Chains A and B, each alone.
Chain A
């Protein structure tokens, strides 16, 4: 079955602009989570959505927001971009069945954002 698809793969923005990233989870997966990855900080949890509801949120400013649609596709938005927002943004989905499957994440390839 198809994996997690993220678009766009690469994008360049300037400070002050806003950006929207998209994620299509594995078919049947209802949980989608977002992570920011930078060389210095590693993988930082942004938020998780389940059935269109934000279920958990990391320690990021309000400029970072997200949503999930009824088909489980998710978007995240970053407003008023700063240089420090340059990072690889990863989306992951997970299924809900079984002890082993419940917590295993399947990641997309990521969206590489560069802020100039």
Chain B
């Protein structure tokens, strides 16, 4: 069956370091992969979209890679700040109606 996996353990890092979150998927060939941020008690907020023919996408301190051979996306936050603490979700899209989310990885950035 189609599956999307993210690190289930929380990621704890020191302020200023680079946070790297992983999203792996199986039995699927998504046309797009997207990352969202979710704060407690709120809905997810879209961050970045990367297409299958793109290797890397950047936005300010955020960087996303997409390796369709490994079936993996990495999400990096450079120079992390305590305000970056949240849960980050990846979502794969392939075919207009198919949207699948990972369970999310909680990131905690400590001062």
Q: In the complex, how many angstroms separate the beta carbon of B96 from the nearest chain A beta carbon? A: 7
CA–CA, A43 and B42, complex, Å: 13
Task: Annotate B34-49 by CB proximity to A: 1 below 8 A, 0 otherwise.
Answer: 1010000111111001
- What residues of B have a CB within 8 angstroms of the CB of A99 in the complex? 51
Whether A42 and B99, one on each chain, are in contact in the complex, defined by CB atoms closer than 8 angstroms, is: no
Query: Secondary structure at chain B's binding surface: helix, strand, loop or mixed?
Result: strand
Interface size on B, residues (CB 8 A): 23
- What residues of B have a CB within 8 angstroms of the CB of A112 in the complex? 41
CA–CA, A99 and B96, complex, Å: 11
Q: Which bucket holds chain A's interface residue count?
A: 20 to 34
List residues 21-75 of chain B with CB under 8 A from any CB of chain A: 32, 34, 36, 41-46, 49, 51
Whether A33 and B99, one on each chain, are in contact in the complex, defined by CB atoms closer than 8 angstroms, is: yes
List residues 74-96 of chain B with CB under 8 A from any CB of chain A: 89, 91, 93, 96
Whether A4 and B43, one on each chain, are in contact in the complex, defined by CB atoms closer than 8 angstroms, is: yes
- A-B pairs with beta carbons under 8 A, tally: 55
Given A90-B43, A103-B34, A103-B49; A41-B103 close (CB under 8 Å):
yes
Query: Secondary structure at chain A's binding surface: helix, strand, loop or mixed?
Result: strand
Asked if A106 CB lies within 8 Å of chain B CBs, one says yes
Whether B42 and A109, one on each chain, are in contact in the complex, defined by CB atoms closer than 8 angstroms, is: yes
Whether A104 and B34, one on each chain, are in contact in the complex, defined by CB atoms closer than 8 angstroms, is: yes
CA–CA, A44 and B69, complex, Å: 26
- What residues of B have a CB within 8 angstroms of the CB of A42 in the complex? 89, 101-104
6 A-B residue contacts at CB 8 Å?
A42-B101, A48-B99, A55-B97, A90-B43, A90-B44, A110-B43
Chain A contact residues, CB within 8 Å of chain B: 4, 33, 35, 41-43, 45, 48, 55-56, 90, 92, 99-100, 102-110, 112
